[in-house]
Structure 1
Amino acid sequence: MNLLVWNVRGLTEESKLILKEHCASFSPVIVGILEPKSIFDDFPVSFWRSINLVACHQNARDHMRSNIWVFTHPSIVSHVILSFDQVIIVRCVWMHYCFKIAVIHGANCHVARRRLWLDLLNHIDGSTVFMGDFNAIKGAHERISNCLPNNTVCQEFRDFITATGFIEPPITGLRFTWSGRRFMPSHVESVLDRAIISDSFVELWHNVSSHALPRITSDHSPLLLMCRHPPQARHNFFKFLHMWVEHPNFEKMVENSWNSQIDVNCPIFKVMAKLKRLRKELRLWNRTGYTDSLFNAEILAQAKINVALSRKSSLLKQKSRVSWLTDGDRNTAFFHAMLKYKKRPHIIPHLDIQGSMVYDQDEIGNHIVDFFSNLFNEDNMEEIDVVALEATIDRVVSPSQNDMLTRIPENDKITAAVFDMDPNSAAGPDGFFGKFFQACWQIIRSDVWNAVRAFFMRSYLPNGCNSNTLVLIPKKDVVNSVTDLRPIVLSNF
């Protein structure tokens, strides 16, 4: 679902073409037009039909043209619940989603905006989006100018956002959504357009991103709010959970699995095969024996806590004689929504591919795979003269030291190496952390000893034994291209 709000500064023929292009590219289900500077009833209905929109509402101003128009997709059922010169709030039902959107055009005067803040605070229930031209900034970091903004006005706006408890998705695209279009040194740019969303809206969509589109015909950027459900994982990767170690039946379960007969002669293959079999059994054990016991214990503990909290709430309500105290109001929904929103950086909502912004997850994934495959491909490496390269490198390892390094290690040396490594370091593709090897060392050590000695004797690692997971770490807060990602490699323990 996409939502689009744009302060067009006059709905001219040029801006109509830009709006038509945005609607064709993003298919927004709700479009808010600010400062159209046209008469609503005189505007041709055929234009809105051509971009698959129907008129929803225009706000009323005393003896003045309306400055906010709202249009919706024909499939949306809408109902206007508030309308005046600075905002239109519409309750919408689209498919099986119900939410409210406030299309905002804040007054230029901060005193007049105080009424807007108060009215918005009265409509923050449920899944809600406040979106548009707020005509306010939170501080000097949201403006480029020769003079500092009024701190009192900025503080009022910050207090309003804090009072709502809403979350503001970071804006990608243009850094500043409005430009004064003046020549230096009086050039001014600010973040006047934004979207803030309620925790219930985050729970509804999980992945919400805000994008400031290029300014062409207006001094304001069209603001696009993209709401997506997180894409389904292509692979359900196994990951060893540290809490399993604390279960009393864990070691017995691992021992039974590990000591089961397996028809493999190569010691390295034997360890790999046993780890693969153990992964399947741990998954089954986690879903049945382990998780069920946790849920049962949690249910019993939660029942006792609820009884105690109910008694405490009743006592406080009686002593304080207040009527606003509601049952179960412990902000748990807000914290869960914040946790879901924190997962958002793990998803790349869009990427610049060859000069065009791409939003399709499959296309983004294929581009990233192709980029790093070509980057690390041997075909892209220049021909290297190995003899000349060796001549430029000083020999700092003596033959005796080399013999010591390549000598078959003893069992105690292998054991010491295992326990010297970090048990909490990130796992590789097999999903086993160092915590597993250290906790189950008495069970698996003989097979690991044989596998390590086999490597030193044969100087060979089978495919898959040393596989790696390529993880992309953002270099910036907002990722626009694949070069904004730093690859790191996670290897098996």
Structure 2
Amino acid sequence: MVSLVSSSWFVVGDFNAVLGAHEALGSRSPTHSSYEDFRLMIEVCDLVGIHSQGARFTWVRGRSNLTRVERRLDKVLVSDGCISCWQEISCVAFPRIYSDHCPLLVRLSDFEVSSHRLFPFQSMWLEHPDFIAIVCKIWSSPIVGRPLQVVIYKLRSLKKALKSWNWEVFGNLNSVIARKSIELHSIQLDLSNRGFSYDLFMVEASVHYELDVLLRRQKCFYRDRSRVRWLRDGDWNTSFFHASIKCRKYRNTISALSINGVLSEDRPTIRDHIISYYSNFFSSDVSRVERDLSIVDDMIPSLVTAAENAFLTSVPSADDIHDALFAMDVASTPGPDGFSVRFYQRCWDFIKDVDFLMKIAFAGLGSSWLLIVVFVGLVVNLQIIFFFIVLWRLLFERQFSRLSSDVSLPKFGNPSSCRPLSVSISDQVMILWKAVIHAVIWGVWTARNQWIFEGKLVDFRSVLSFVWSVVSKANRLDIGCMLNCMDNLLIFRLFSLRGRPSKAPVIKSVIWSPSAPGWIKVNTDGAAMGSLRVGGCSGIFRNCRVFVKGLFAIPLGQVFAFEVELLVASSTVNFAWKYGWHRIWLESDFSYMVQLLSSHSEMVPWRVRQAW
């Protein structure tokens, strides 16, 4: 079917299959083989799913809790060509009336919404030699005023300077790349028709270098806009980044909104309703804020002593701020002002105003700027609020480093238990903690609303009972296994639940033959935690005397098990070539590797074809 359709196309309807357990609810869980085949079909056809508004599950059967089954069977799948042709693709799932399926309405629109574009900081600017000079010039200008106002004024001036500099130096990347590609093609045709010419050869090399620089800038530009983190550095995939940007735009677009029970598609009406809703939601008097805080004080006991509070709220040093900033993820989403964490890390040596402002902000941590802006109704420059997004990230990074320090805080448990979320954690424990967080937020929010609107004071024990029931139900999902370690066992004992231990490995004796003289033997292996789950690969290199020459371990992000084996082979070749090992004996448990290496097979998935 894919070979017959060359233009843009999309498929909509009842596929009678789901993509995973997250698209199913009820007594019967979908089988692993069913959604694995469906995922493979989507990948082979190069289709992308469009998120639908409305009902989460489009098919329902059963009228009791024991027999009710809900699935997301109705979907809209579009091709890459369809994504490129339309400015907006949306889908709405309407209520079920005469059928057990929700009817879907697909909208395809060429109308591009004109809106005020915020300033986007580009990572490609950091590689240009003139960037640091521009920032130094703006930041060294003498400005008189409060520290916060000075920083905001400099950021605003820097934004204007970078906008004009970007247009003069970089211009429209797509247009420049198109012109350079045509120029390079013309030069190569002249070389082919006229024969070799040294002058023409040097011109070709110069144009080829300029085009390579432009392509690298384009890759960096699309990578920033797509905000895809799981791809490794070095992957180009410009078309994939472009499709990711389009899909993220579709997800973030509000094409329809239910206003007082009526579905509205008029954009000015939607805009006015959103502004009115949040203006009323965030407008309140101080007495209500104090009443909300009193509820929190009554429900949450005081666990911090004066000495511990003094330690946690002490003003950090310059080294502390530096360490907290450089511990942040450079790929995180920038604030609405456009300046990303990568900018502050690169320019930290000479923007000392932010260092001083950070200490002032930390000293006034007890007063919430958010409450001042929202509830009191002060008219504050939005640029200040945007700047505080990065500032608050620094505050939380610093507080985390203090909680994970060696200072004894017995009420919080062992300091080593304060770990970042990137640490490996089993699927079963992750589901439990997510259930706890959601249940606590919902329970406290419900208790707050009952106190405000109904005057009922909810017993804290009922909230805990609700949390325990949600955790118990989440543990019945039968997803993943626990790690065979004491930490996981203690967590399950805390909730009085039964864990599912992972299968213990069996160590077997094998005959390992060394390589011939002059050859390097490498043993590789890769694994993924299920279909399109977190995966990784590793390898170890030994010479003919069985001495270890090197080893590597690479996280691969969200991959299929088949892709892991291909990526470990390509990583092995790259690693060996880097260190000058050109005679490699690759030993792998993937028997299909021989066929793939000996021929240009079309079975290589498109997601790893560039690396392969």
TM-score (norm 2): 0.40
Q: Which has the larger radius of gyration?
A: 1
Which of the pair is proportionally richer in strand?
A: 1
TM-score (norm 1): 0.48
Which of the pair is proportionally richer in helix?
A: 2
